[in-house]
């Protein structure tokens, strides 16, 4: 297991800054929490690893779910979320999400987010496992980009918030189970800095980049989970990774997401022999829960000896398709596919982390003054399988709650200037970190992917055990730091997946195919 810190450092020798809130990450969760904190009168520093817009939020296509339709209600949204989560959702967390969600979405609209409308008002679409049309979307298939645009605009205008880009958070500064701040590497100035805060919020996103095939941006290397775990926080549900069923699969092309909303508008899935197959797997056919669709696709791929299946929109109105999915239409055209006449080759890829840093409904982690929201956090709202388009909503709802919760911390805060240093000297090492990372990504896809076995998971754990030697060594740059974090987080996922001897939601074991009552519980790790 890793030590408490990734680098040699001594805070007494480093430049130090201080703010009320230190928020890590600039996606929907980080930016919305920053705005809420500033509205409550606090000053905020946001640290983000690359540019402000390099987030999973910015890439989100399908939309944001909220019970705003005439025939819809939070109770129906709750029911769908619980069914998709296969018995592992925290029901209070789900009630919080679905009942507070509509107001948070209205707030986004007041801030200037422009969602698509039709003659009835907001245009709502369906996605897998939703019983109602309740997904708001923007510019057709660029919902996340619209939300990111609006939040970024307001954050940039706000004098109480400063955003520091290219700041890679290396570790949390924790003593006696209280978080005092963070150690960050300024990638432009090439120096380590200390940021002290009264409230530290993790909103660093997910870990999709651990898998060779994924839909995530470069930043998604699991750093938030790794730094929290090293600092002693509890992490939960690490075995539950969501694979998206339909990601573009053309040799040489990026794994570009083909939104579930495409199936919501009526697209079919066909195997490589041209047969529509989802009707044989689930009553909701193409709109079955994501994990069901992924396994059906993998089965069809195996049966037909192909590495892909096809999304067929050719029976839909071409003008509607182009209007509704402009981004997908254009990207496919770049690869010589006209989606109004050609079927789109797709395969599953890693997409979302249901588990993460364990929090309660107020965003509190198991470490005092350390909070978490968005994909890095696990309040238990998604259970074993997230309902489509619930993730942007999760970032808004639980991000906002942190600010209400932390008011008392700001009032009662008494500064304590403690210094921190790495507790053991890390030695330099001459290892090709890039090669380790490449092997890890392939291994995660093959052994810790959508279908797992005890034998494969043990092979993965042997790999992590072997490379645990790197924890004793110093790193030279952020690329190497990412690899260390990926090794740690990959091991947590594989360890949890081996421990859970059943199949449930996003976790499927060929050697334990049944969903078992005795496993209706969470796996929690702490260093």
Contacts of 326 (CB under 8 A, 6+ apart): 139, 140, 141, 142
Which of 33, 45, 359, 391 touches ligand SIN by CB under 6 A?
Answer: 391
Please report, as residue ranges, which positions from 258 to 287 form the binding site for ligand SIN (by CB under 6 A): 259-261
Pairing mode, strands 377-378 and 344-353? unpaired
C-alpha torsion sign, points 292, 376, 131, 133:
negative
CB of 287 or CB of 523, closer to ligand SIN: 287
Please, what is the minimum distance in Å from the beta carbon of residue 24 to ligand SIN?
22
Q: Tell me: does residue 216 bind ligand SIN (CB under 6 A).
A: no
Give the interface segment with ligand SIN, choosing from 383-391, 393-401, 460-468, 489-497 (CB under 6 A).
383-391
Residue 290 designated active-site: yes
Q: Give SS3 for 513.
A: coil
Q: Which positions ≥6 away from 327 have C-beta within 8 Å?
A: 61, 139, 140, 141, 142
45 vs 56 by CB, closer to ligand SIN = 56
Of 92-100, 177-185, 387-395, 490-498: span binding ligand SIN (CB under 6 A): 387-395
Quick one: which of 389, 406, 485, 503 contacts ligand SIN (CB under 6 A)? 389
**Which residue minimizes CB distance to ligand SIN?**
62
Q: Which is nearer to ligand SIN, 257 or 321 (CB)?
A: 257
Nearer to ligand SIN, 260 or 491 (CB): 260
Point out which span in 160-168, 226-234, 384-392, 503-511 binds ligand SIN (CB under 6 A): 384-392
Query: Cα separation of 142 and 511, whole Å?
Result: 40
CB of 412 to ligand SIN, least distance (A): 38
Nearer to ligand SIN, 204 or 390 (CB): 390
Task: Report how far residue 16's alpha carbon sits from residue 149's, in angstroms, rounded to the nearest whole number.
Answer: 31
Binding of residue 443 to ligand SIN (CB under 6 A): no
* Shorter beta-carbon distance to ligand SIN: residue 88 or 233: 88
Q: Identify the residue among 388, 402, 487, 497 touching ligand SIN (CB under 6 A).
A: 388
Q: State the minimum distance, in angstroms, from the CB of residue 288 to ligand SIN.
A: 14
CA separation for the pair 126, 326 (Å, rounded): 18
Task: Select which of 104, 134, 263, 290 is catalytic.
Answer: 290
Give the interface segment with ligand SIN, choosing from 44-52, 233-241, 257-265, 434-442 (CB under 6 A): 257-265
Of the candidates 153, 198, 171, 233, the one whose C-alpha atom is nearest the C-alpha of residue 45 is 198
Q: Among the candidate windows 101-109, 388-396, 463-471, 484-492, which touches ligand SIN by CB under 6 A?
A: 388-396
Shortest separation between residue 147's beta carbon and ligand SIN, angstroms:
13
CB of 264 to ligand SIN, least distance (A): 9
Contacts with ligand SIN, 283-322, as mask; x by CB under 6 A? ----------------------------------------
Extended strands (E) in 68-226: 117-118, 121-122, 124-125, 135-136, 161-164, 167-175, 178-186, 191-202
For the CB of residue 509, give the shortest distance to ligand SIN in the complex, in Å: 24
Q: Are strands 377-378 and 356-358 parallel, antiparallel or unpaired?
A: parallel
CB of 257 to ligand SIN, least distance (A): 6
**Minimum distance from residue 246 beta carbon to ligand SIN (Å):** 7
Greatest extent of the chain over all pairs of C-alpha atoms, in Å: 68
Query: What distance in Å separates the CA atoms of residue 98 and residue 78, rounded to the nearest whole number?
Result: 6
Sheet holding 268-270, edge to edge: 241-248, 344-353, 309-312, 268-270
Q: How many H helices and E strands in the chain? A: 14, 20
Part in contact with ligand SIN (CB under 6 A); list of ranges 86-94, 254-262, 417-425, 444-452: 254-262
Q: Give me the residue label for tokens 């509890």.
A: 234
Rounded to an integer, what distance in angstroms lies between the CA atom of residue 501 and that of residue 523? 12
Q: State the sign of the Cα–Cα–Cα–Cα dihedral 450, 456, 457, 460.
A: negative
* List 33, 34, 55, 61, residue binding ligand SIN (CB under 6 A): 61
Where would I find the H helices in 209-351? 223-230, 260-264, 290-304, 318-324, 326-334
Cβ atoms of 260 and 246 closer than 8 Å: yes
Instruction: Write out the two tokens for 425.
Output: 């000297």
Window 62-101: residues binding ligand SIN (CB under 6 A): 62
Task: Decide: 357 and 225 in contact? Cβ < 8 Å.
Answer: yes
Residue 385 lies near ligand SIN (rule: CB under 6 A): no
Q: How many residues bind ligand SIN (CB under 6 A)?
A: 11
Nearer to ligand SIN, 94 or 261 (CB): 261
Q: Which stretch binds ligand SIN (CB under 6 A): 167-175, 196-204, 225-233, 385-393?
A: 385-393
| Backbone torsions φ then ψ of 439, nearest 5 degrees | -65, -40
Say which residues have a Cβ less than 8 Å from residue 29's Cβ, sequence separation at least 6: 203, 373, 374, 375, 376, 377, 394, 395, 396, 398, 399
Residues annotated catalytic, as ranges: 290
Binding interface with ligand SIN (CB under 6 A): 61-62, 257, 259-261, 351-352, 388-389, 391
């Amino acid at each position: 297991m890793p030590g408490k810190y990734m680098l040699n450092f001594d805070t007494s020798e480093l430049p130090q800054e201080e703010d009320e809130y230190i928020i890590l990450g600039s996606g929907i969760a980080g930016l919305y929490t920053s705005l809420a904190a500033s509205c409550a009168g606090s000053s905020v520093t946001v640290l983000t690893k690359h540019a402000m817009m390099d987030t999973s939020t910015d890439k989100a296509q399908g939309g944001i779910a909220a019970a705003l339709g005439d025939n819809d209600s939070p109770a129906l949204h709750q029911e769908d979320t619980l069914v998709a989560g296969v018995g592992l959702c925290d029901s209070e967390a789900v009630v919080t999400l679905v009942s507070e969600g509509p107001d948070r979405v209205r707030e986004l609209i007041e801030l200037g987010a422009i969602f698509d409308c039709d003659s009835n008002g907001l245009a709502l679409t369906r996605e897998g496992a939703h019983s109602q049309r309740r997904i708001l979307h923007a510019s057709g298939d660029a919902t996340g980009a619209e939300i990111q645009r609006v939040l970024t605009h307001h954050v940039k205008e706000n004098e109480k918030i400063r955003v520091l880009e290219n700041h890679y958070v290396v570790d949390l500064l924790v003593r006696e189970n209280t978080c005092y701040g963070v150690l960050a590497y300024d990638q432009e100035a090439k120096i380590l800095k200390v940021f002290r805060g009264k409230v530290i919020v993790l909103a660093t996103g997910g870990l999709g980049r651990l898998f060779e095939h994924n839909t995530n941006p470069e930043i998604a290397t699991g750093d938030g989970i790794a730094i929290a775990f090293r600092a002693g926080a509890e992490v939960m549900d690490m075995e539950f990774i969501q694979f998206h069923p339909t990601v573009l699969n053309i040799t040489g092309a990026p794994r570009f997401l083909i939104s579930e909303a495409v199936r919501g508008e009526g697209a079919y899935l066909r195997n490589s022999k041209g047969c529509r197959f989802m009707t044989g797997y689930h009553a909701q056919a193409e709109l079955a829960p994501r994990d069901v669709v992924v396994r059906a696709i993998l089965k069809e791929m195996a049966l037909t000896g192909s590495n892909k299946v096809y999304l067929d929109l050719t029976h839909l109105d071409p003008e509607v398709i182009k209007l509704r999915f402009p981004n997908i239409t254009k990207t496919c055209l770049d690869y010589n596919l006209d989606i109004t006449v050609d079927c789109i080759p797709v395969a599953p890829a890693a997409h979302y982390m249901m588990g993460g840093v364990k929090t309660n409904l107020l965003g509190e982690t198991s470490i005092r003054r350390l909070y978490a929201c968005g994909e890095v956090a696990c309040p238990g709202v998604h259970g074993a399988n997230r309902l489509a388009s619930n993730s942007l909503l999760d970032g808004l709802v639980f991000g906002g709650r942190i600010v209400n919760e932390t008011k008392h911390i700001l009032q009662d805060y008494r500064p304590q200037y403690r210094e921190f240093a790495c507790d053991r000297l890390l030695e330099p090492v001459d290892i090709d970190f890039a090669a380790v990372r490449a092997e890890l990504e392939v291994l995660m896809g093959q052994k810790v992917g959508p279908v797992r076995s005890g034998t494969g998971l043990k092979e993965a754990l042997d790999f992590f055990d072997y490379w645990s030697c790197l924890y004793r060594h110093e790193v030279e740059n952020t690329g190497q730091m990412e690899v260390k974090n990926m090794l740690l987080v990959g091991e947590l996922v594989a360890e949890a997946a081996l421990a859970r001897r059943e199949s449930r939601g996003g976790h499927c074991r060929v050697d334990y195919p049944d969903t078992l009552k005795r496993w209706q519980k969470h796996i929690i790790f702490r260093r």
